[in-house]
Amino acid sequence: MKRKKWLKIGIGLLIVLLIIDIGASIYFYQLAIDRNEKDFLQGNDDLEVSAETMEVLTEGDWRTWVDQQDFDEWTMTSRDGLDMKGYFLEAEKPSNKVVVMAHGYLGNAMDMGLFGQYYYEQKGYNIFTADARGHGASGGDYIAFGWDDRLDYVDWIKRIIEQYGEDTEIILHGVSMGAATVLMTAGEDLPDNVKAVVADSPYTSVYDLFSYQLGRMFHLPAIPVLPSTSVVTQMRAGYSLKEASALDQVKKADVPILYIRGSDDTFVPSRMSEMLYENTKSDAEMLTVEGAGHGEPFVVGKDKYIDKLNDFLTTYTDWQ
């Protein structure tokens, strides 16, 4: 009788824990992946930046520059039927070079104007950027953290080549989630037109990122919450957290990759960039900007950033 009693208690506890785990999984899916208003990152110490950086990001001249440009608005239907939105700005003088840029989590295409202005004004390149699925004017009721976006970018690349010719040359440049996006794209079967990738503050995989943030923000272990959250994500968004891996993709990459990280990045730890760099199949280089937090390297060390970028492009492409 005692054995049966304890068995019932044990089963009851397991059921309660299972219900709690399912509830937590749905909560974290809605918190991070579902397309909705998000305020959980407000006040996050890991995303604090200097007053100078904040001024540049929110009120910099580049925002005025973006507003003054006459971007061509492109639309595309994704492979799973979503209406996607992209923006192309032709160079002032004819050029066969296009910089395809990818923005970060909760951002939008025009956030990449910070980099686009340099490429456009100083280098004379065409620039293209798009709203990721679940962001801006693009469709989607979930955030793909780069995984489904990689196929969207493959299709944007195809569209650019079809419109501007077979001699079009392309580099990919992304920041944060956008960096993971271009790395995931690099692992696909890309046309030879894609010459290089620049990944600023990337993460190795969505699972790794969530595991790190779950401990740092919520003081919770990855197991059992993340495996069950991954199941929810698979059911609702069509991908698993481990499947969405930039690390696996760079092991297949054929294009040169420049990794850029901030030494003080605690939101996406800089060790993830190191791991990506060490596992990249193609030629790769790394730039560490001292004193820079997440997504800050271009602002904190702009001269160093641009010098390294130009050196990288000169070394691995014929871009000047």
Q: pLDDT, tens digit, for every residue of 46-75?
A: 566 566 676 777 777 999 999 999 999 999
Closest CA to 138 of 94, 74, 200, 194: 74
Q: What is the CA radius of gyration of the chain?
A: 21
pLDDT of residue 278: 98
Given a contact cutoff of 8 angstroms between Cβ atoms, the answer to whether 133 and 78 are in contact is: yes
pLDDT of residue 119: 98
Is the domain spanning 51-205+244-316 CATH 3.40.50.2300? The answer is no
Which residues of the chain form beta strands (DSSP E)? 72-77, 83-89, 97-102, 126-130, 169-175, 194-200, 257-262, 284-289
pLDDT of residue 170: 98
Low-confidence ranges of the chain (pLDDT < 50): 16
pLDDT of residue 108: 96
The 3-state DSSP class for residue 6 equals helix
CB contact burial 126-152 (16+ within 10 A = b; e otherwise): bbbbbbbbbbbebbbebbbbbbbbbbb
pLDDT of residue 64: 94
CA 264 to chain CA centroid, Å, is 19
pLDDT of residue 15: 57
Beta bridge partners of 89: 127
The answer to whether the bond into 94 is cis (omega within 30° of 0) is: no
Q: What is the DSSP letter of 247?
A: H
pLDDT of residue 164: 96
CA 120 to chain CA centroid, Å, is 22
Nearest 10 degrees: Cα torsion 263, 268, 271, 273: -90
Nearest 10 degrees: Cα torsion 287, 174, 116, 310: 30
- Domain range summary for the chain, segments of one domain joined by +: 51-205+244-316
Question: What's the rounded Cα separation, in Å, for the pair 278 and 306?
Answer: 23
Burial class (CB in 10 A: 0-12, 13-18, 19+), 260: buried
User: For residue 96, what are the CA distances in angstroms to 92, 165, 303?
Assistant: 12, 8, 26
Q: What is the DSSP letter of 315?
A: H
pLDDT of residue 86: 98
